[in-house]
């Protein structure tokens, strides 16, 4: 294992895992900090991404979980650590990016770490230390009104400095533009000035690749998934790994295929409609029916039992906003969500116990509930079905999963995803 990654949220972890896979690294994503026992069976990967949920939790908890992840990754042989956060630098004056990064540096006895959330493909760029979202500075983007981490300052040197004890500097674009040699010299100069962090500008993938090359000996890298573009080349150049072809298909165990949709996002509602149109048998969950007992896990499983075994089927609770609101007014927002999530997780458990081996789950929270219910802790990243959504294999289980954030994927996602399985 070469690159040990700690991500501050689940979808960010998957983002990074996909990026590393595209860059030729065989990558595993784990859902919890692997303890000594859990570390067995995690061999044979170039990169491991630990998915935490530490973006907005109390600082002390974020530090503790990140350090435990770092220890596990180092025990697995990691030569470099990567602390992954959002490309909009989601944080407050108290953290958690600065304090976690400083704790990791202390653990590694590192002297300098780079800071770069740039992700040009997604229109996140950094120029003269200022983060842009599309054409506007961060503080003028919708992030200024984020409920948990409102970003009201676009200058990342200042933002990072407010969160950190050590000094924060900048590697400005004119140096980045000159390439890896100049960036490396800028790192050396920053060390001389006693800086602990340097925000590094980047407006293109080329900048990220040059930055990655210059950071070859940096023990800790911090940033968005874009920075991952340039890291695998260092390990390849050192002869530590060979680039693996990004997978285009995944072999899956024989067994039934199912789609469980608990997302009410527009994209998922479109995918449900397209699946029905394409003739995929579908069962609609009515949360009020669940609450009254008219529907239950048992009635859903009985319906599934009547469907053809060799074709995928769909169980969904996805509904239009007005219908969702009516349910929430009756049951309460939280209670309605939990009721649907629990039901889908219970259905998934029973399906997997009785021979379902291929599962698509739509919805971020829904996926979390299903994966927890199934006790899946490690996912090997396979081919991308649509941008941001890969097939994954549950390590040590006869099961492949595609976990889709609600708004991801093309309309025909539920129909075409199976073509990537062999
Ligand atoms: P997304 O990724 O689209 O946000 P999530 O799964 O994260 O999807 O969130 C959807 C939430 O809505 C879940 O808590 C789910 O249980 C809940 N939910 C699903 N269907 C309904 C419905 N018909 N009425 C009310 N809540 C629902």
C-beta 365 within 6 A of ligand 1: yes
C-beta 288 within 6 A of ligand 1: no
Give tens-digit pLDDT for 227-275.
Answer: 999 999 999 999 999 999 989 999 999 999 999 999 999 999 999 999 9
Atom of ligand 1 nearest to the CA of 285: 23
Taking the CB of residue 111, how many other CB atoms lie within 10 A of it? 16
**Residue percentage of the chain with pLDDT more than 90:** 89
Sign of CA dihedral 232, 168, 72, 223: negative
C-beta 327 within 6 A of ligand 1: yes
C-beta 409 within 6 A of ligand 1: no
**Rounded-to-integer distance, Cα 260 and Cα 316, Å:** 6
List where CATH 3.40.980.20 sits in the chain: 256-420
Atom of ligand 1 nearest to the CA of 328: 25
Closest CA to 261 of 104, 60, 402: 402
User: What is the biggest distance separating any 2 CA atoms in the chain, rounded to whole angstroms?
Assistant: 71
Q: What's the count of helices (H) and strands (E) in the chain, helices before strands?
A: 15, 18
Atom of ligand 1 nearest to the CA of 366: 6
- Cβ-proximal residues to 374 (8 Å cutoff; 6+ apart), any chain: 345, 348, 349, 352, 394, 399
In this structure, which CATH number among 3.40.50.720, 3.20.20.20, 3.50.50.60, 3.40.50.10840 belongs to the domain 3-237?
Answer: 3.40.50.10840
- Average pLDDT, whole number, for the chain? 95
pLDDT greater at residue 126 or residue 146: 126
C-beta 331 within 6 A of ligand 1: no
- Give me the mean pLDDT over the 147-166 stretch: 95
pLDDT greater at residue 163 or residue 39: 163
**Residue percentage of the chain with pLDDT more than 70:** 100
List where CATH 3.40.50.10840 sits in the chain: 3-237
Say if residue 8's pLDDT is above 80.
yes
Atom of ligand 1 nearest to the CA of 367: 6
Give me the DSSP letters along 288-355.
HHHHHTSS-HHHHHHHHHTS-TTS-EEEE----HHHHHHHHHHH-HHHHHHHHHHHHHHHHHHHHHTT
Give tens-digit pLDDT for 11-26.
Answer: 889 989 999 999 999 9
pLDDT band at 41 (very low <50, low <70, confident <90, very high): confident
- Under 8 Å between Cβ of 86 and 9: yes
C-beta 29 within 6 A of ligand 1: no
**CATH topology assigned to domain 256-420:** Molybdenum Cofactor Biosythetic Enzyme; Chain A (3.40.980)
Residue in 11, 339, 365 to alter for ligand 1 test, most ligand atoms within 8 A of Cβ? 365
Say if residue 420's pLDDT is above 80.
yes
- Under 8 Å between Cβ of 126 and 132: yes
């Amino acid at each position: 294992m070469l690159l040990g990654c700690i991500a501050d949220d689940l979808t960010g972890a998957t983002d990074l895992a996909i990026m590393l896979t595209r860059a030729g690294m065989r990558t595993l994503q784990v859902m919890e900090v692997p303890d000594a026992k859990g570390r067995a069976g995690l061999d044979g990967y170039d990169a491991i991404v630990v998915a935490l949920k530490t973006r907005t939790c109390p600082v002390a908890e974020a530090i503790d979980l990140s350090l435990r992840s770092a220890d596990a990754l180092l025990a697995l042989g990691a030569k470099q650590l990567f602390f992954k956060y959002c490309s909009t630098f989601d944080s407050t004056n108290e953290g958690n990016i600065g304090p976690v990064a400083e704790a990791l540096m202390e653990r590694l006895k590192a002297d300098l770490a780079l800071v770069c959330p740039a992700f040009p493909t997604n229109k996140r760029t950094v120029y003269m230390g200022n983060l842009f979202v599309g054409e506007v500075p961060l503080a003028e983007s919708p992030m200024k009104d984020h409920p948990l981490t409102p970003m009201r300052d676009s200058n990342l040197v200042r933002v990072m400095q407010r969160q950190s004890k050590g000094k924060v500097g900048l590697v400005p674009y004119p140096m980045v533009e000159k390439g890896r040699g100049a960036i490396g010299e800028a790192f050396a100069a920053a060390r001389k000035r006693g800086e602990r962090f340097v925000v590094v500008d980047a407006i293109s993938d080329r900048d990220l690749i040059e930055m990655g090359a210059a950071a070859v000996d940096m023990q800790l890298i911090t940033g968005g998934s874009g920075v991952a573009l340039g890291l695998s080349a260092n390990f390849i150049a050192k002869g530590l790994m060979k680039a693996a072809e990004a997978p285009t298909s995944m072999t899956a165990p024989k067994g039934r295929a199912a789609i469980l949709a608990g997302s009410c996002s527009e994209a998922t509602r479109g995918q449900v409609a397209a699946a029905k149109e394409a003739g995929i048998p579908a069962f609609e969950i009515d949360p009020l029916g669940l609450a009254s007992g008219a529907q239950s896990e048992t009635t859903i499983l009985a319906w599934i039992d009547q469907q053809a075994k060799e074709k995928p089927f769909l169980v969904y609770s996805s509904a239009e906003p007005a219908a969702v609101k009516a349910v929430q007014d009756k049951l309460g927002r939280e209670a309605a969500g939990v009721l649907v999530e629990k039901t889908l997780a219970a259905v998934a458990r029973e399906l997997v116990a009785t021979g379902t081996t291929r599962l698509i789950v739509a919805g971020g929270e829904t996926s979390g509930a299903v994966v927890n219910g199934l006790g899946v802790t490690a996912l090997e990243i396979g081919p991308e079905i649509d941008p941001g959504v890969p097939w994954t294999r549950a390590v040590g289980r006869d099961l492949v999963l595609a976990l889709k954030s609600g708004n991801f994927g093309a309309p025909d996602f539920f129909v075409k995803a199976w073509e990537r399985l062999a």
